[in-house]
Amino acid sequence: MARVIDRMLMWSKPMGSSVAQEEIDYIVSTIGSVAGDVAAGLHEPVFAGNEKFYLSDCIDSGFVSSVGEYVTRFESALARFTGSPHVIALTNGTTALHLALIALGVRPGHEVLVPALSFVATANAVAHAGAVPHFVDVSEDTWGLDAHELRKYLRAVAVLRDGNLINRDTERVISVIVPMHTLGHPVDMAGVTEVAEEFGLKVMEDAAESLGSQIGDVHTGLLGDLGVFSFNGNKTITTGGGGAIVTGNAELADRIKHLSTTARLPHPFEFDHDEIGYNYRMPNINAALGVAQMEQLPGILANQKRLYGRYEQAFRDDDRFTIKGERAGTSSNFWLQALLLGSESGIERNDVIERALARNLAVRPLWKPLNTVAAHSSSPSDATPVAQDLYERVVCLPSSSSLADKS
């Protein structure tokens, strides 16, 4: 790992800073005092349960592909844990977002409201559905969609016509809002839902990062019309590659399952398909891994929360720094721990990141705001000062749950 990081650092340009190297060293040492003095990954999975046993059993069963009992077991485990009446396991978070958008009625040429601060998959999935992401800003409080700004913005740029919300500039239909729970911290779903109701929009919750996070006693993903999880290797639990859609709507769940399996019509031997479908169902071998991971989820979440406590304590006494914590009325899964550098501190986040990487502490910034990412920079966008500010001031810290007890 050290060699990879060394090689990567050669490509990056150091940025000037007015802060002494000693200050940067102090910050990185403080991170290291929590994450440990040897190499620490950003978010490494924990395989301490039945992973090998279930994989072996899956091989013995002969069913490793998209038909198999582990898929059903994984979906049931997710349903129990989240309280979702319906769960559909899919190949990854991006394909889950894609199918969820289609199921909610997103059509080619529509616009979908997406927070500027998210992993690019959120916007890509909109494009995969033939639609256009329309970026809006996030709030300083939640780091997710700012419902208040969104309402003001829609009142200014959009108009209701024949039951559709129309973007006055582009004349395109705006059909769905995609709130995303940034780094696992729940967004203001009450606010987003009110805006959705005012403008007649559907809500697809991007809960890719927030398995285990709740608002009150409702699991994230279940407060919108559909919710999406990811089980990529860097997530709280992993299936190698994997994702899922959760919903209380049986009809939507059936449609999604149908679309995910080539939209084949039930018949004992004929191959007929009533619409253009996909090959997005989770394979059984990946679900076997997922069943083992689900058994360990409570312990992993407890560790992620404990790790937060240790970072929070380490930085508590210096008011230039904030470790992102829980908002009142919500619980976070603390998927990625995040250090917010005070705007008056004069500390450049790249100085911290480069020094930490050189010490083999895997840190990173937030994502470049999507309205400034080349692939999506021609899409419509509100001004996004908060997304830009957080992008410039946040350092994501080593967050593997195994670090909870390290020193």
Choose the binding region for a second copy from 48-56, 99-107, 165-173, 327-335 (rule: CB under 8 A): 48-56
User: Among 16, 20, 162, 267, which residue sits at the site for a second copy (rule: CB under 8 A)?
Assistant: 267
Choose the binding region for a second copy from 151-159, 160-168, 214-222, 265-273 (rule: CB under 8 A): 265-273
User: Is residue 303 within 8 Å of residue 83, measured between CB atoms?
Assistant: no
Is residue 34 involved in binding a second copy (CB under 8 A)? Answer: no
DSSP element (H, E) containing 251 = helix 250-260
User: Among 15, 59, 160, 218, which residue sits at the site for a second copy (rule: CB under 8 A)?
Assistant: 59
Is residue 3 involved in binding a second copy (CB under 8 A)? Answer: no
Determine the 3-state secondary structure of 200 from DSSP: coil
Is residue 38 involved in binding a second copy (CB under 8 A)? Answer: no
Binding mask 275-294 for a second copy (x = CB under 8 A): xxxxx-xxxxxx--x-----
Q: How far is the CB of 173 from a second copy (least distance, A)?
A: 18
- As a whole number of angstroms, the distance between CA 183 and CA 206 comes to 11
Is residue 272 involved in binding a second copy (CB under 8 A)? Answer: yes
User: Among 19, 39, 120, 157, which residue sits at the site for a second copy (rule: CB under 8 A)?
Assistant: 120
Is residue 271 involved in binding a second copy (CB under 8 A)? Answer: yes
Choose the binding region for a second copy from 31-39, 139-147, 181-189, 361-369 (rule: CB under 8 A): 361-369
Is residue 62 involved in binding a second copy (CB under 8 A)? Answer: yes
Q: Which is nearer to a second copy, 296 or 330 (CB)?
A: 296
Enumerate residues 6+ apart whose C-beta is below 8 A from 3. Answer: none
**Residues numbered 145-164 forming contacts with a second copy, rule: CB under 8 A:** none
**Residues numbered 169-198 forming contacts with a second copy, rule: CB under 8 A:** none
